[in-house]
Homo-oligomer: A and B are copies of this chain.
Protein backbone atom coordinates (compact mmCIF):
# COMPACT_ATOMS: atom_id res chain seq x y z
CA UNK A 1 0.00 0.00 0.00
CA UNK A 2 3.01 2.27 0.30
CA UNK A 3 3.70 2.59 -3.38
CA UNK A 4 0.52 4.33 -4.53
CA UNK A 5 1.01 8.04 -5.17
CA UNK A 6 -2.09 9.84 -3.91
CA UNK A 7 -3.03 12.65 -6.30
CA UNK A 8 -6.39 13.14 -4.66
CA UNK A 9 -8.17 16.23 -3.45
CA UNK A 10 -7.68 14.74 0.02
CA UNK A 11 -6.42 12.72 1.67
CA UNK A 12 -2.98 13.91 0.68
CA UNK A 13 0.38 12.33 1.31
CA UNK A 14 1.45 12.88 4.89
CA UNK A 15 5.10 13.65 5.63
CA UNK A 16 7.04 11.04 7.64
CA UNK A 17 7.63 13.46 10.52
CA UNK A 18 3.88 14.03 10.76
CA UNK A 19 3.16 10.29 10.69
CA UNK A 20 5.81 9.85 13.34
CA UNK A 21 4.09 12.39 15.59
CA UNK A 22 0.86 10.42 15.20
CA UNK A 23 2.39 7.48 17.03
CA UNK A 24 3.56 9.39 20.11
CA UNK A 25 2.40 8.06 23.45
CA UNK A 26 -1.08 9.12 24.48
CA UNK A 27 -1.25 11.64 27.31
CA UNK A 28 -4.25 12.61 29.42
CA UNK A 29 -6.28 15.15 27.47
CA UNK A 30 -7.23 16.82 30.75
CA UNK A 31 -3.63 17.51 31.81
CA UNK A 32 -1.41 20.58 31.73
CA UNK A 33 0.98 18.86 29.33
CA UNK A 34 -1.79 18.30 26.82
CA UNK A 35 -3.05 21.83 27.46
CA UNK A 36 0.27 23.11 26.13
CA UNK A 37 0.11 21.01 22.97
CA UNK A 38 -3.51 21.98 22.50
CA UNK A 39 -2.83 25.70 22.91
CA UNK A 40 0.11 25.55 20.53
CA UNK A 41 -2.03 23.78 17.93
CA UNK A 42 -5.01 26.11 18.15
CA UNK A 43 -2.69 29.14 18.01
CA UNK A 44 -1.03 27.75 14.89
CA UNK A 45 -4.48 27.12 13.41
CA UNK A 46 -5.43 30.75 14.01
CA UNK A 47 -2.19 31.85 12.30
CA UNK A 48 -3.09 29.78 9.24
CA UNK A 49 -6.67 31.10 9.30
CA UNK A 50 -5.10 34.58 9.62
CA UNK A 51 -7.35 35.51 12.47
CA UNK A 52 -6.84 37.01 15.91
CA UNK A 53 -9.80 34.93 17.08
CA UNK A 54 -9.67 31.54 18.72
CA UNK A 55 -9.67 28.40 16.59
CA UNK A 56 -11.38 25.26 17.79
CA UNK A 57 -10.42 21.69 16.96
CA UNK A 58 -13.17 19.18 16.35
CA UNK A 59 -12.57 15.44 16.37
CA UNK A 60 -14.44 14.72 13.16
CA UNK A 61 -14.46 15.10 9.37
CA UNK A 62 -14.66 18.46 7.65
CA UNK A 63 -18.38 17.77 7.46
CA UNK A 64 -18.62 17.92 11.25
CA UNK A 65 -17.21 21.47 11.16
CA UNK A 66 -19.68 22.39 8.40
CA UNK A 67 -22.46 21.14 10.64
CA UNK A 68 -21.02 23.09 13.59
CA UNK A 69 -21.05 26.24 11.45
CA UNK A 70 -24.78 25.85 10.80
CA UNK A 71 -26.07 24.17 13.97
CA UNK A 72 -24.89 26.95 16.27
CA UNK A 73 -26.40 29.96 14.52
CA UNK A 74 -29.88 28.75 13.59
CA UNK A 75 -33.24 29.37 15.12
CA UNK A 76 -36.04 27.37 13.49
CA UNK A 77 -36.93 28.69 10.03
CA UNK A 78 -34.06 31.16 9.84
CA UNK A 79 -33.16 31.89 6.25
CA UNK A 80 -29.80 30.71 4.99
CA UNK A 81 -28.54 31.51 1.50
CA UNK A 82 -26.61 28.53 0.17
CA UNK A 83 -24.43 28.91 -2.88
CA UNK A 84 -24.63 25.55 -4.65
CA UNK A 85 -22.36 24.78 -7.58
CA UNK A 86 -21.14 21.35 -6.62
CA UNK A 87 -21.35 18.55 -4.11
CA UNK A 88 -20.04 20.46 -1.11
CA UNK A 89 -22.27 23.46 -1.75
CA UNK A 90 -25.13 20.98 -1.78
CA UNK A 91 -23.89 19.44 1.44
CA UNK A 92 -23.98 22.80 3.21
CA UNK A 93 -27.58 23.23 2.05
CA UNK A 94 -28.56 19.71 3.11
CA UNK A 95 -27.07 20.31 6.54
CA UNK A 96 -28.97 23.59 6.85
CA UNK A 97 -32.16 21.82 5.76
CA UNK A 98 -31.74 19.05 8.29
CA UNK A 99 -31.12 21.64 11.00
CA UNK A 100 -34.46 23.29 10.21
CA UNK A 101 -33.34 26.29 8.15
CA UNK A 102 -35.42 27.92 5.47
CA UNK A 103 -32.73 27.41 2.83
CA UNK A 104 -32.48 29.62 -0.23
CA UNK A 105 -30.46 28.02 -2.99
CA UNK A 106 -28.31 30.21 -5.18
CA UNK A 107 -27.66 27.83 -8.03
CA UNK A 108 -24.42 28.06 -9.96
CA UNK A 109 -23.61 25.88 -12.92
CA UNK A 110 -21.21 23.09 -11.96
CA UNK A 111 -17.86 24.25 -13.32
CA UNK A 112 -18.56 27.94 -12.80
CA UNK A 113 -18.16 30.16 -9.73
CA UNK A 114 -20.66 32.40 -8.03
CA UNK A 115 -20.11 36.11 -8.61
CA UNK A 116 -20.21 38.79 -5.92
CA UNK A 117 -23.05 40.43 -7.90
CA UNK A 118 -25.19 37.30 -7.58
CA UNK A 119 -24.71 37.36 -3.83
CA UNK A 120 -25.58 41.06 -3.70
CA UNK A 121 -28.72 40.49 -5.71
CA UNK A 122 -29.88 37.67 -3.47
CA UNK A 123 -29.24 39.70 -0.32
CA UNK A 124 -31.01 42.75 -1.75
CA UNK A 125 -34.03 40.62 -2.55
CA UNK A 126 -34.42 39.29 0.99
CA UNK A 127 -33.30 41.23 4.02
CA UNK A 128 -34.04 38.31 6.37
CA UNK A 129 -31.14 36.18 5.23
CA UNK A 130 -29.20 35.33 8.37
CA UNK A 131 -26.14 33.76 6.81
CA UNK A 132 -24.56 32.96 3.47
CA UNK A 133 -22.60 29.75 2.90
CA UNK A 134 -19.92 29.64 0.25
CA UNK A 135 -17.58 26.78 -0.53
CA UNK A 136 -14.27 28.45 -1.26
CA UNK A 137 -12.82 25.57 -3.19
CA UNK A 138 -15.50 23.30 -4.64
CA UNK A 139 -13.56 20.04 -4.62
CA UNK A 140 -16.16 18.27 -6.76
CA UNK A 141 -15.78 20.63 -9.75
CA UNK A 142 -12.32 22.15 -9.28
CA UNK A 143 -13.71 25.66 -8.94
CA UNK A 144 -12.52 28.46 -6.69
CA UNK A 145 -15.06 31.04 -5.49
CA UNK A 146 -13.95 34.70 -5.20
CA UNK A 147 -14.36 34.87 -1.43
CA UNK A 148 -12.42 38.11 -1.02
CA UNK A 149 -14.73 39.95 -3.43
CA UNK A 150 -17.82 38.29 -1.96
CA UNK A 151 -16.67 39.41 1.49
CA UNK A 152 -16.55 43.00 0.27
CA UNK A 153 -20.19 42.78 -0.78
CA UNK A 154 -21.17 41.12 2.47
CA UNK A 155 -19.76 43.98 4.56
CA UNK A 156 -22.89 45.97 3.61
CA UNK A 157 -25.26 43.37 5.03
CA UNK A 158 -25.88 41.88 8.47
CA UNK A 159 -25.82 38.29 7.25
CA UNK A 160 -22.98 36.14 8.54
CA UNK A 161 -20.43 35.00 5.97
CA UNK A 162 -19.71 31.28 6.34
CA UNK A 163 -16.87 29.84 4.29
CA UNK A 164 -15.98 26.21 3.75
CA UNK A 165 -12.21 26.32 3.32
CA UNK A 166 -11.81 22.57 3.78
CA UNK A 167 -9.84 22.04 0.59
CA UNK A 168 -8.24 25.49 0.31
CA UNK A 169 -6.81 26.56 3.66
CA UNK A 170 -3.05 26.21 3.54
CA UNK A 171 -3.01 26.07 -0.26
CA UNK A 172 -4.96 29.12 -1.37
CA UNK A 173 -5.56 32.60 0.04
CA UNK A 174 -7.93 32.56 2.99
CA UNK A 175 -7.50 35.61 5.23
CA UNK A 176 -10.30 35.34 7.70
CA UNK A 177 -9.99 38.70 9.47
CA UNK A 178 -8.89 40.79 6.51
CA UNK A 179 -11.59 39.44 4.23
CA UNK A 180 -14.22 39.55 6.97
CA UNK A 181 -15.25 35.90 7.18
CA UNK A 182 -17.48 35.18 10.16
CA UNK A 183 -17.21 31.42 10.29
CA UNK A 184 -14.48 29.49 8.54
CA UNK A 185 -14.07 25.72 8.62
CA UNK A 186 -11.38 23.38 7.41
CA UNK A 187 -10.20 19.77 7.51
CA UNK A 188 -6.86 18.22 8.36
CA UNK A 189 -6.31 16.01 5.33
CA UNK A 190 -6.28 18.49 2.46
CA UNK A 191 -3.79 21.34 2.04
CA UNK A 192 -2.68 21.08 5.66
CA UNK A 193 -1.34 17.61 4.80
CA UNK A 194 -2.16 16.00 8.12
CA UNK A 195 -3.99 12.69 8.46
CA UNK A 196 -7.78 12.79 8.04
CA UNK A 197 -10.10 12.94 11.03
CA UNK A 198 -9.68 16.44 12.49
CA UNK A 199 -11.57 19.58 11.61
CA UNK A 200 -11.12 23.17 12.71
CA UNK A 201 -13.39 26.16 12.94
CA UNK A 202 -12.93 29.80 13.80
CA UNK A 203 -15.70 32.27 14.60
CA UNK A 204 -15.85 36.07 14.57
CA UNK A 205 -17.27 38.28 17.32
CA UNK A 206 -20.35 38.84 15.15
CA UNK A 207 -20.76 35.09 14.86
CA UNK A 208 -20.51 34.68 18.63
CA UNK A 209 -23.18 37.35 19.14
CA UNK A 210 -25.55 35.18 17.12
CA UNK A 211 -24.39 31.91 18.70
CA UNK A 212 -24.88 33.25 22.21
CA UNK A 213 -28.57 33.81 21.45
CA UNK A 214 -29.19 30.43 19.85
CA UNK A 215 -29.64 26.91 21.22
CA UNK A 216 -27.19 24.66 19.42
CA UNK A 217 -28.89 21.99 17.36
CA UNK A 218 -26.30 19.40 18.37
CA UNK A 219 -24.61 18.51 21.60
CA UNK A 220 -21.39 17.13 20.16
CA UNK A 221 -20.83 20.21 18.01
CA UNK A 222 -22.12 22.84 20.45
CA UNK A 223 -19.53 25.59 20.04
CA UNK A 224 -20.40 27.21 23.37
CA UNK A 225 -19.09 24.07 25.03
CA UNK A 226 -15.89 24.25 22.96
CA UNK A 227 -15.43 27.88 23.95
CA UNK A 228 -15.93 27.17 27.63
CA UNK A 229 -13.59 24.17 27.66
CA UNK A 230 -11.04 25.98 25.50
CA UNK A 231 -10.79 28.88 27.91
CA UNK A 232 -10.32 26.73 31.01
CA UNK A 233 -7.07 25.91 32.82
CA UNK A 234 -5.70 23.86 31.20
CA UNK A 235 -7.45 24.65 27.92
CA UNK A 236 -9.13 21.56 26.58
CA UNK A 237 -11.94 20.16 24.45
CA UNK A 238 -15.39 19.46 25.86
CA UNK A 239 -15.18 15.78 24.88
CA UNK A 240 -12.24 13.42 24.51
CA UNK A 241 -10.29 14.60 21.48
CA UNK A 242 -8.22 12.62 19.03
CA UNK A 243 -4.92 13.17 20.84
CA UNK A 244 -2.83 11.38 18.18
CA UNK A 245 -4.29 13.50 15.39
CA UNK A 246 -3.68 16.69 17.34
CA UNK A 247 -0.01 15.67 17.64
CA UNK A 248 -0.03 15.16 13.88
CA UNK A 249 -1.85 18.39 13.11
CA UNK A 250 0.56 20.35 15.30
CA UNK A 251 3.50 18.89 13.38
CA UNK A 252 1.85 19.57 10.02
CA UNK A 253 1.14 23.18 11.01
CA UNK A 254 4.76 23.63 12.10
CA UNK A 255 5.83 22.50 8.65
CA UNK A 256 3.55 25.14 7.12
CA UNK A 257 5.05 27.77 9.37
CA UNK A 258 8.57 26.70 8.44
CA UNK A 259 7.72 26.93 4.77
CA UNK A 260 5.84 30.19 5.18
CA UNK A 261 2.20 30.43 4.24
CA UNK A 262 2.83 32.79 1.30
CA UNK A 263 5.47 30.45 -0.13
CA UNK A 264 3.14 27.55 0.29
CA UNK A 265 0.31 29.26 -1.54
CA UNK A 266 2.68 30.24 -4.36
CA UNK A 267 3.78 26.60 -4.55
CA UNK A 268 0.16 25.51 -4.93
CA UNK A 269 -0.47 28.15 -7.61
CA UNK A 270 2.56 26.92 -9.52
CA UNK A 271 1.39 23.30 -9.30
CA UNK A 272 -2.09 24.29 -10.49
CA UNK A 273 -0.72 26.19 -13.44
CA UNK A 274 1.64 23.36 -14.36
CA UNK A 275 -1.22 20.88 -14.15
CA UNK A 276 -3.55 22.92 -16.33
CA UNK A 277 -0.82 23.48 -18.91
CA UNK A 278 0.04 19.79 -18.96
CA UNK A 279 -3.62 18.89 -19.44
CA UNK A 280 -3.88 21.31 -22.34
CA UNK A 281 -0.66 19.93 -23.85
CA UNK A 282 -2.38 16.54 -23.98
CA UNK A 283 -5.35 18.14 -25.78
CA UNK A 284 -7.56 17.28 -22.85
CA UNK A 285 -10.22 19.72 -21.73
CA UNK A 286 -10.50 21.37 -18.33
CA UNK A 287 -13.93 20.88 -16.76
CA UNK A 288 -14.31 24.30 -15.11
CA UNK A 289 -13.88 27.65 -16.76
CA UNK A 290 -10.16 28.30 -16.51
CA UNK A 291 -10.57 31.73 -14.93
CA UNK A 292 -12.30 30.21 -11.90
CA UNK A 293 -10.25 27.04 -11.70
CA UNK A 294 -9.00 25.85 -8.35
CA UNK A 295 -5.50 26.23 -6.95
CA UNK A 296 -5.61 22.85 -5.26
CA UNK A 297 -7.51 20.47 -7.55
CA UNK A 298 -7.88 20.31 -11.32
CA UNK A 299 -10.99 18.74 -12.83
CA UNK A 300 -10.65 17.43 -16.38
CA UNK A 301 -13.25 16.11 -18.80
CA UNK A 302 -12.85 12.39 -19.39
CA UNK A 303 -11.34 11.86 -22.84
CA UNK A 304 -13.98 10.62 -25.26
CA UNK A 305 -13.95 6.89 -25.92
CA UNK A 306 -12.53 5.65 -22.63
CA UNK A 307 -14.25 4.74 -19.43
CA UNK A 308 -13.39 5.97 -15.99
CA UNK A 309 -12.37 2.49 -14.92
CA UNK A 310 -10.09 2.05 -17.94
CA UNK A 311 -8.45 5.40 -17.39
CA UNK A 312 -8.21 5.70 -13.63
CA UNK A 313 -7.93 1.93 -13.24
CA UNK A 314 -4.85 1.83 -15.45
CA UNK A 315 -3.38 4.89 -13.76
CA UNK A 316 -3.82 3.22 -10.42
CA UNK A 317 -3.20 -0.45 -11.03
CA UNK A 318 -0.50 -0.27 -13.66
CA UNK A 319 1.21 3.01 -12.82
CA UNK A 320 0.40 3.35 -9.11
CA UNK A 321 -0.97 6.86 -9.32
CA UNK A 322 -4.38 7.42 -7.76
CA UNK A 323 -6.59 10.12 -9.23
CA UNK A 324 -10.11 11.01 -8.11
CA UNK A 325 -13.18 10.41 -10.22
CA UNK A 326 -16.25 12.54 -10.66
CA UNK A 327 -19.00 12.61 -8.06
CA UNK A 328 -22.76 12.34 -8.51
CA UNK A 329 -23.76 13.24 -12.09
CA UNK A 330 -20.11 13.85 -12.98
CA UNK A 331 -19.22 10.22 -12.22
CA UNK A 332 -17.43 8.88 -15.28
CA UNK A 333 -17.50 12.28 -16.97
CA UNK A 334 -14.53 13.91 -15.30
CA UNK A 335 -11.41 12.97 -13.40
CA UNK A 336 -9.73 15.12 -10.81
CA UNK A 337 -6.08 15.64 -9.95
CA UNK A 338 -5.45 16.81 -6.43
CA UNK A 339 -2.34 18.98 -6.13
CA UNK A 340 -2.46 19.97 -2.54
CA UNK A 341 -0.27 19.64 0.51
CA UNK A 342 3.24 18.41 -0.23
CA UNK A 343 3.00 19.00 -3.97
CA UNK A 344 6.00 19.73 -6.19
CA UNK A 345 7.14 19.08 -9.76
CA UNK A 346 8.11 15.57 -8.65
CA UNK A 347 4.56 14.30 -8.15
CA UNK A 348 3.46 16.02 -11.36
CA UNK A 349 6.30 14.43 -13.31
CA UNK A 350 5.18 11.02 -12.09
CA UNK A 351 1.50 11.76 -12.66
CA UNK A 352 1.91 12.99 -16.22
CA UNK A 353 4.36 10.23 -17.12
CA UNK A 354 1.71 7.81 -15.97
CA UNK A 355 -1.03 9.69 -17.78
CA UNK A 356 0.84 9.76 -21.07
CA UNK A 357 1.57 6.04 -20.91
CA UNK A 358 -2.01 5.29 -19.87
CA UNK A 359 -3.53 7.28 -22.72
CA UNK A 360 -1.05 5.86 -25.25
CA UNK A 361 -1.79 2.35 -23.96
CA UNK A 362 -5.50 2.97 -24.38
CA UNK A 363 -4.97 3.89 -28.01
CA UNK A 364 -4.82 7.67 -27.85
CA UNK A 365 -2.59 9.55 -30.21
CA UNK A 366 -0.46 11.30 -27.62
CA UNK A 367 2.37 13.72 -28.27
CA UNK A 368 4.68 11.84 -25.90
CA UNK A 369 6.51 14.16 -23.50
CA UNK A 370 4.31 17.16 -24.22
CA UNK A 371 2.64 17.25 -20.83
CA UNK A 372 5.96 16.70 -19.07
CA UNK A 373 7.48 19.58 -21.01
CA UNK A 374 4.57 21.76 -19.93
CA UNK A 375 5.18 20.85 -16.30
CA UNK A 376 8.88 21.60 -16.59
CA UNK A 377 8.24 24.95 -18.24
CA UNK A 378 5.85 25.99 -15.50
CA UNK A 379 8.49 25.18 -12.90
CA UNK A 380 11.62 26.46 -14.61
Shortest Cβ distance from residue A82 to the other chain B in the assembled complex, whole angstroms: 13
Cβ of A142 < 8 Å from any Cβ of B?
no
Complex Cα distance A71/B245, Å? Answer: 26
Q: Are B64 and A220 in contact (CB under 8 A)?
A: yes
Complex Cα distance A5/B8, Å? Answer: 40
Q: Which stretch of A18-26, A109-117, A172-180, A361-369 is in the interface? A: A18-26
Q: Are A28 and B2 in contact (CB under 8 A)?
A: no
Q: Which stretch of A40-48, A54-62, A143-151 is in the interface? A: A54-62
Q: Which stretch of A210-218, A256-264, A301-309, A350-358 is in the interface? A: A210-218
Taking a contact as CB atoms closer than 8 A, the residue among B11, B59, B95, B218 that contacts A240 in the complex is B11
Complex Cα distance A242/B249, Å? Answer: 13
Specify which chain B residues have a CB less than 8 angstroms from the CB of A197 in the assembled complex.
Answer: 59, 197, 240-245
Complex Cα distance A27/B4, Å? Answer: 8
Taking a contact as CB atoms closer than 8 A, the residue among B2, B64, B91, B248 that contacts A244 in the complex is B248
Q: Contact string, A1-43, partner B, CB cutoff 8 A, digits 1/0?
A: 1101010101111100001101111111101010000000000
Given contacts A6-B26, A23-B19, A189-B26, contact A61 B217 (CB under 8 A): no
Specify which chain B residues have a CB less than 8 angstroms from the CB of A187 in the assembled complex.
Answer: 240
Q: Are A240 and B189 in contact (CB under 8 A)?
A: yes
Cβ of A379 < 8 Å from any Cβ of B?
no
Taking a contact as CB atoms closer than 8 A, the residue among B61, B222, B244 that contacts A220 in the complex is B61
Shortest Cβ distance from residue A42 to the other chain B in the assembled complex, whole angstroms: 17
Q: Are A241 and B196 in contact (CB under 8 A)?
A: yes
Specify which chain B residues have a CB less than 8 angstroms from the CB of A104 in the assembled complex.
Answer: none
Complex Cα distance A63/B220, Å? Answer: 7
Cβ of A138 < 8 Å from any Cβ of B?
no
Cβ of A322 < 8 Å from any Cβ of B?
yes
Q: Are B242 and A242 in contact (CB under 8 A)?
A: yes
Q: Are B98 and A195 in contact (CB under 8 A)?
A: no
Q: Are A195 and B11 in contact (CB under 8 A)?
A: no
Q: Are A22 and B61 in contact (CB under 8 A)?
A: no
Q: Are A239 and B62 in contact (CB under 8 A)?
A: yes
Complex Cα distance A299/B265, Å? Answer: 52
Q: When A and B form their complex, which 8 residue pairs have the shortest distance between CB atoms, in order from nearest? A: A197-B242, A61-B239, A23-B23, A63-B239, A19-B23, A195-B244, A61-B240, A95-B219
Given contact pairs A60-B60, A196-B244, enumerate 10 new A-B contacts (beta carbons under 8 Å).
A1-B25, A2-B25, A59-B61, A60-B64, A71-B218, A197-B244, A197-B245, A218-B220, A218-B221, A245-B245
